Structure 1
Amino acid sequence: MAGAPSTSDTWWTNWAAFIASNGSIPTQYSWHMEGGGGDMQSSVATYKTILEDNGLATDHVVNINEYGIWSEQVPAGSAWWIAQLERVNAFGLRGNWLSGDALHDFLAGLVGKPNGGTSDYNYTAGGYWPTPAWQVYHYYAKNMTGTRVQTEPTADLLGEVYAVVDTDTVRLLVGSRVATGTFYIELQDLASVGLPESGTLEIHTYGFPGTDDHYAELDAPTDLGWYGHEYSGNTLSFPIYQVDVYTAYAFEFSR
């Protein structure tokens, strides 16, 4: 379904009633999240409400096909969507907004090559490179290992974080949804990962810069160095200065 679940959408409600009446229950539920609005928590909650209203189980796999509009397919938006999907334990397929030969040539905006997006573009040419968004997914796949921990988005749903605790390291992947401004990351119950309830925590920061050029090359995230954050009361809060709509961040600290 190319639209998120809605209790006021008769397509959704009639369809749920139909599959309940004849027992044609799917093993996975799938819909698009490509309207530029909505969020995964609300969408999954609504989907469960529709199923429950029809006496259907709500423990099936959710597999989003597809997610993210073109303007969100930058590092910040990519990290935002990763956190959204992880929170509700859903699979997701990154949206592909290109067409023609280019539809099958750029891995949904994760790779670029010479003359991409220009009149000189040649779909048979090689010379591929990773885009800034690719670096976010690469970090996510290679580094965000261990145990997923509970996170919450900002109240306006524009700031997001995905966090994991590994054997000796805690990692956070932070993004925003095509938004600028300042928001805060608050780490609670630091003692649960073996840290003292007060002191100074050294955090290593990486940046994933981007631009409005979806074909640009980025060979590695930017190492932004270490910074010591003083904290107390088993809680640490630090700001995210989102000065553009492109940049995502990763934060790492030892436990």
Structure 2
Amino acid sequence: MSSLQISGPTTAGQPNFNNDWFTSWASYVKKNNSIPDQYAWHEESENGSSMSSSYDGLIAILKQNQLPLKTININEYAIFDEEVPAGSAFWISQLERYNAIGLRGNWLGGTQLHDLAASLLSKPDPNNYASTDYFPNGDYQVYKYYSQNMTGNRVGTSVSQDGKFDAYATVGGGLAKVLMGVRPPTQGTYTVSLSNLTALGLPASGNLNVRTWKFPVGSDVHYSGVDGPTDLGYISHSYSGNTLALPYYQTDKLTAYAWEFAVGK
């Protein structure tokens, strides 16, 4: 006989001590010994909340009530303006860091609500629910790359100091891959340090050929078709001290990028 898992509190607010509903729920759960299998909430906010701040808030609430840490299920993440390649790469990185399950928020309405895969697909007439001939948009290509290309072992990363740029990295099949994006509407330049390269079978200094993939959008951010990322080719970079520091240029609030380079093992 299979068991049914439960989740809670499944609230639109993030866990912190300013969230009276969340703290009251945690107290009730402790008192009644009704601990769920998953802690669930939404990460859809324009106030700057993130997985980092929410996780810290959750841990503090659990500690106060002597509750165990369970699987985290973010049953809706990203506001509509963040559902672009840059924002999707950012949220993938955030969720992976905390082993969190995540379901992309669906901000569409009417017949589109159950038609366009939460703004990942489009068609010649996206307003006509009866039309077919679906095609992927630019945001879809980020998830495709993440699911099909970023196989192997996850590598530790950290969010930028301002909390607006993040990266997810894997090593497998002789390649290291780094998917990067910002939380829209962020723009600017960040320095990404690839450290401890000897752990990947590379020398502590030398030259490294890095391939760049660009994940653009079409003329219409959500409704234009995009066949795949753009290959920007290889550039050789010199490094020393077991670390390669590369600049990351976010010149708009939409585009995501990925780097790939060969490893020794």
Q: Same fold, TM exceeding 0.5?
A: yes
Alignment of 1:100-179 (within 5 A): 100-116=110-126, 121-178=127-184, 179=186
Partner of 1:188: 195
Matched position secondary structure for 2:41: coil
* 2:125–2:131 Cα contact (<8 Å) kept: no
Displacement of 1:100 in angstroms is: 1.5
Select the residue among 222, 228, 238 that pairs with 2:230.
Answer: 222
Displacement of 1:95 in angstroms is: 0.4
Deviations 1:107-164 (A, max 9, x none): 0111011132xxxx21111011001000000000001111111101111011111001
Deviations 1:156-213 (A, max 9, x none): 0111110011131100001011111100110001000000011110011100012552
Displacement of 1:33 in angstroms is: 0.5
Aligned length: 250
Matched position secondary structure for 1:30: strand
In 2, the alpha carbon distance for the partners of 1:13 and 1:3 equals 11
Matched position secondary structure for 2:140: helix
In 1, the alpha carbon distance for the partners of 2:25 and 2:167 equals 34
Partner of 2:25: 15
Partner of 2:258: 250
Select the residue among 192, 208, 211 that pairs with 1:204.
Answer: 211
Question: Aligned letter for 2:187?
Answer: T
Select the residue among 249, 253, 258 that pairs with 1:241.
Answer: 249
Question: Aligned letter for 1:208?
Answer: F
1:46 equivalent to 2:57? Answer yes
In 2, the alpha carbon distance for the partners of 1:220 and 1:15 equals 44
Partner of 2:68: 57
Which stretch shows the higher mean deviation, 87-96 or 36-45? 36-45
Question: Aligned letter for 1:233?
Answer: G
| % same residue | 49
Displacement of 1:18 in angstroms is: 0.3
Partner of 2:8: none
Question: Aligned letter for 1:109?
Answer: S
In 2, the alpha carbon distance for the partners of 1:35 and 1:41 equals 14
**Structure 1: any 5+ residue segments left out of the alignment?**
none
TM-score normalised to structure 1 length: 0.96
**Structure 2: any 5+ residue segments left out of the alignment?**
1-10
RMSD, aligned α-carbons: 0.9
Runs of 4+ in 1 over 6 A off after TM superposition: none
